[in-house]
Structure 1
Amino acid sequence: MSQSSLDDDELFGEAANEMRSDVESSLADAWDALPAADDIWETDAENVLGVLNGLKSALDAGDAEEHLRDAKKWYTMGERADAFEDADDLEAEIEAVEEALTDISGAGEQVGELASTIPALKGTLEEAADDDDEADEEDD
């Protein structure tokens, strides 16, 4: 084996290690960007709408999607170059982050829909109560 070939293999190995580190770092950044469990569980709002609006804000995934995209980009490059000896752990973690983002996004949509429905429902119930009070006054 020539010196050039050895150097190329060594460089490829270094590049593969750096690529794996980049994927791992991006995945760690994605996890860090997700909302904390306490942020979506605890509240100090005074009414249901306040709770829903707070929850909707807490369900913001921040830069997690961008970090996941970076991880997937470097993972795909590494896989296509056959640079990883064993990348099952990376693939599993990418899938776990994707699932978490999907769950957070779905919850955010549901909370958003509910938050837009509650004020109208409150108004309808208040009108019904006012109509009932007026009917009771007329009966007296």
Structure 2
Amino acid sequence: MEITLTTPALLFPALSLLLLAFTNRFLGLANLIRSLKDRYASTQNRLVYSQIENLRVRLILIRNMQAFGSLSMFGCVLCMFVLFAGYETLGKYVFGFSLLMMLISLALAIREIQISVKALELELDDLKGSSAGQ
């Protein structure tokens, strides 16, 4: 397989968009945690505390998603440099590393989405239970 300088460059738009999406998710969760923390401080509601704990796990996942996405981007840039220097075989390995980092980042994103959906389902179940009692 032949690899050129343009091959790793093809990942830049995808990686940039992924990192932007991960950052937006992080900022959204940070705002939600701040509001839930204030709510918990005034109510001491166990459900609110459970939501904060769920968000803590999701923040760790998002941090790792960003880290592996950044490593993928770093690998792409390093691959381009290695290819520019004329080391095609090493460039293939570095590009493979970049792809692996991107796969890990995407796998973490899938896990974070699963946790997010589960949390929303619990919230909806709680709402359903409280409306049935009225």
TM-score by length of 2: 0.49
> Which is higher, the Rg of structure 1 or of structure 2?
1
Q: Which has the higher helix share?
A: 2
> Normalising by the residue count of structure 1, what TM-score does the alignment of the two structures yield?
0.48
